[in-house]
Amino acid sequence: MISLEDIYKKYYSIIFKYLMSLTKNTDLSEELTQETFYKMIKKINTYNEKSKFVVWLCEIAKNTYYDYLRKNKKILIKYEINENLASNSNVENDYIEKEEIENTYKKIDKLDEKTKKVIYLRLNSELSFKEIGEIFGKTETWARVTFYRGKQKLKEDHSYGE
């Protein structure tokens, strides 16, 4: 049986990189990585082996990040507004860009589970198609095709304006 220490050593780098892609902040990613592994220990009995362990762990990391955002929303908004004003950037354009990103993630969340996870792993964790294929126990080609089809679905949804 694999120990918690072995799990930590095996998956730490993947989870940290995934969170770095979301936060763009080393200290916060480190903190959220630790929190992810803490939650994993608490929830280990809920893992049902329907998905790869690393995918399940990435879900915990993503939810940990979302929890962080919800808890710190006012602080983050205040910081972002001050940053925008200080840099004389166009607040309206920044808002529109963030709105588009949010809408894209909402559309991604409507995709089937495997496609959604492949897209998140590719975009947020910057994993190669080969690595993504290995996570799912599939081929590199399967990961490429799944990502491409998901991208096409997002483009179709965008062109019809939902």
pTM listed for this prediction: 0.50
CA distance 93 to 20: 25
Sign of CA dihedral 10, 112, 43, 61: positive
Phi, psi of 57 (to 5 degrees): -65, -40
Domain at 1-71: CATH code: 1.10.1740.10
What is the per-residue pLDDT for 139? 93
And the tokens for 136? Answer: 């799912």
Q: What is the mean pLDDT of residues 6-34?
A: 90
CA distance 161 to 83: 32
- Closest by CA position to 145, among listed 105, 114, 108, 109: 114
Domain boundaries of the chain, sorted by first residue:
1-71, 110-162
Q: How far apart are the first and last CA of the chain?
A: 48
CA distance 101 to 65: 16
* 91 vs 156, residue with greater confidence: 156
CB contact at 8 A, 53 and 47: yes
Segment 35-79, tens digit of pLDDT? 999 999 998 888 887 778 888 888 899 889 888 887 776 555 555
Q: What is the Cα Rg of the chain in Å? A: 17
Is domain 110-162 given the CATH code 3.40.50.11540 in the classification?
Answer: no
